[in-house]
Amino acid sequence: MNSPPRRGSPNTQRGSGDARPPGTQAEHGPRRGRPERAGPGVPAAPGGGVWLHGLHPVAAALANPARRLKRLLLTEEAEAALAARLPKPWRIAPERVERARFATFLPEDSVHQGAALLAEPLPDMPLDRALDHGSGPVLVLDQVTDPRNVGAILRSAAAFGAAALVMQDRHAPPETGALARAASGALEIVPVVREVNLSRALESLKKAGLWVVGLAGEAPVTLAQAGLGGRRVALVLGAEGEGMRRLTREHCDELCRLPIAPEMESLNVSAAAAVALYELARG
């Protein structure tokens, strides 16, 4: 017999990026705007900047007027590919470099495609202003710490018309090249809101007219059965394995689950976000 999902699990399973003991750098990472440390033996980005790498993230940042740019490094092939995506002139002049140069300031496993952009982190956006970004749902992440998962969730949020992504300031990854790479340009599209108190943020969302739905594996009804048509939803997803914290759950208007097959206990949090956003868009 298959065991039921763990209490609090948002139909997710623990991923390698979130399987870290409390108090590690990944869980209590630097706040947005601090220098990104690329990796062992690789210097931090200068002046509080962040190195965005890969053609999609670099092109999206170049096209975003809110992004303050510092340096653009490209190989000859990357410059041609970037110009095909985003015709010149650009807001910053590129510097032609050899591919080996990227190893001096990016982690060795970075898939940079010969393109890197040093930029300032995007400015923090207040919650009320982010709600005006669109009429779609709002995603709320409760201690999801893996930057690759957050990036993938941002990508789904952009694909399905989410208005904003809300995270707690402390228990969330900072803006990094890895997060931007996983987001594939969505970091420039979907506003990211960082709140000190997530429960207070949920109450603010309620006052703004949103129906707060927590995704939990043990919930009595599925997202499709909840009858959310016509309501603007704030969808809350908890950390893989642990799920939402008690206070976060108590501030939800309703708990729902995804109807996954009993042979699989759960989904990765980014996959669960994509399925839930599709269901909301379909409904």
Residue 68 within any structural domain of the chain: yes
Does 172 lie in the same domain as 109?
no
pLDDT tens digits for range 218-236 = 899 999 999 898 899 999 9
pLDDT tens digits for range 180-190 = 999 999 999 99
pLDDT tens digits for range 240-271 = 777 899 999 999 999 999 998 888 877 899 99
Give percent of the chain above pLDDT 90.
Answer: 71
Residue 40 within any structural domain of the chain: no
Does 245 lie in the same domain as 172?
yes
CA 144 – CA 74 distance, rounded (Å): 33
With a cut of 80, say whether residue 44 has pLDDT above it: no
**DSSP labels for 50-78?**
EEEESHHHHHHHHH-TTSPEEEEEE-HHH
| pLDDT value for 185 | 94
| pLDDT value for 43 | 52
As a whole number, mean pLDDT of residues 72-98 equals 96
* pTM for the model: 0.82
Give percent of the chain above pLDDT 70.
Answer: 83
| pLDDT value for 46 | 65
Cβ neighbours of residue 136 closer than 8 Å, sequence gap 6 or more = 160, 161, 162, 163, 232
| Residues spanned by the domain of 234 | 127-282
Residue 269 within any structural domain of the chain: yes
pLDDT tens digits for range 127-158 = 999 999 889 999 999 999 999 999 999 999 99
Task: For 137-186, give the secondary structure using H, E and C.
Answer: CEEEEECCCCHHHHHHHHHHHHHCCCCEEEEECCCCCCCCHHHHHHHCCH
| pLDDT value for 35 | 41
Domain boundary among 81, 96, 119: 119
Does 148 lie in the same domain as 81?
no
| pLDDT value for 47 | 66
Task: For 175-211, give the secondary structure using H, E and C.
Answer: CCHHHHHHHCCHHHCCCEEEECCHHHHHHHHHHCCCE
Domain boundary among 119, 151, 174: 119
β-bridge pairing 69-74 and 94-96: parallel
Q: What average pLDDT does the chain have?
A: 85
Does 252 lie in the same domain as 132?
yes
Does 132 lie in the same domain as 241?
yes
pLDDT tens digits for range 152-209 = 999 999 999 999 999 998 889 999 999 999 999 999 999 999 999 999 999 999 999 9
CB count within 10 Å of CB 5 equals 23
